[in-house]
Amino acid sequence: MVPMKEAKITASNAGQKIEKFVKKFLPEAPLGFIYKAFRKKDVKVNGHWVKKDHVLQEGDVVRIYVTDAQLQDFQKPRPVEKKPFPYKVAYEDENVLIVDKPKGLLVYGDQKGSRETLGNAVLDYLYYKEEYDPKDSSFTPSPAHRLDRNTSGLVCYGKTDAALKALTDLFKERTEIEKYYLALVVGDVEKDKGRIDIPLKKDPIQGRVFQCPLAQGGKTALTEYSVVKRYGSYTLLRLHLLTGRTHQLRVHLSLLGHPIVGDDKYGDFENNRMVKSLTGNEGQVLHAAELHFGKLDGALSALSGLSIVSSLPSDRQKVIEALTKGRR
């Protein structure tokens, strides 16, 4: 069963918008987490999903889907320290920070309440630069999207409230942004280019995503791919993410018959064991490599027309070299 927290609206907190109430209820939650909760319909009033501008009335019952560990993490402040950023900064201006997340690092806390996260490193960095004051509770810089723990690559943060909202809308609407990934997959992919159009649905209890017809609740999921290099038993693909479903690339490639190397949820488990014994690799060899921005204005105007590119990390390159030795 999906974990849920409940609060009853009293006369003292009636009349405010639900978004404001949730921010107060989870004061340490990244805004990206809150915005995503509304998008996923994980915030309900009297049993019904509501939009962020819904005005609460006395007696309303608010339900928020959040784990016990997340609730503890989001209600208890983590001390912020002035520290240089320990990872690569791919782009930065006064409104936006784009960073290169290494494999194995969470974007923000998980169900275990981990606090060694990319988000915390960003807050330390912006505090170090005196661009963020932890005593000011009106806004906390947050990610506009997320990557799985073992997916490396580019993550965008809003340094201002206006920028974060604009980035969140940008990733949701997808009309002025294109996202590309690199993935090493099992097998020799037959076609040089292709398009995967398979609707997907998430099982929130199992935490897995599966193929599901639209008529049965599946959501449209589109992925384009092209071959970067063939290595006989493996293929390096460039993936264009046209929709943003959970685990979309991992599931689509598995359904294509070419799972991502190291994927412990949808992959070839026998191959994963062989890869680990040979290279020490754990987790999917998947990298968020490119962000291409269209015509933007307002808080995102400096990004207009830019392309941000992240090279495949050295640890991923070493895995490819070890697996494809003699097949270059």
Active site members? 148
Which amino acid, residue 62?
V
Q: For residue 124, what is the enclosing H or E element? A: helix 118-128
Q: What spatial distance separates the first Cα and last Cα of the chain, rounded to whole Å?
A: 49
The pair of three-digit structure tokens given for residue 12, joined into one six-digit string:
């003292």
With a CB cutoff of 8 Å and minimum separation 6, the contacts of 253 are: 183, 185, 196, 223, 225, 237, 259, 260, 266
Nearest-5° Cα angle at 248, 242 to 249: 85
Burial of 195 (0-12, 13-18, 19+ CB in 10 A): exposed
Q: Is 125 left (phi over 0), alpha (psi -120 to 50) or beta?
A: alpha
- Residue that is written with structure tokens 């609060």 in the block: 7
Residue with tokens 């290595």: 231
In one letter, which amino acid is 155? Answer: V
Query: Is the distance from CB of 182 to CB of 284 less than 8 angstroms?
Result: no
Label residue 51 exposed, middle or buried (CB < 10 Å: 0-12, 13-18, 19+): exposed
d(CA 325, CA 71) in angstroms, rounded, equals 47
Token digits for 323?
A: 């697996």
Separation between Cα atoms, residue 112 and residue 176, nearest integer Å? 35
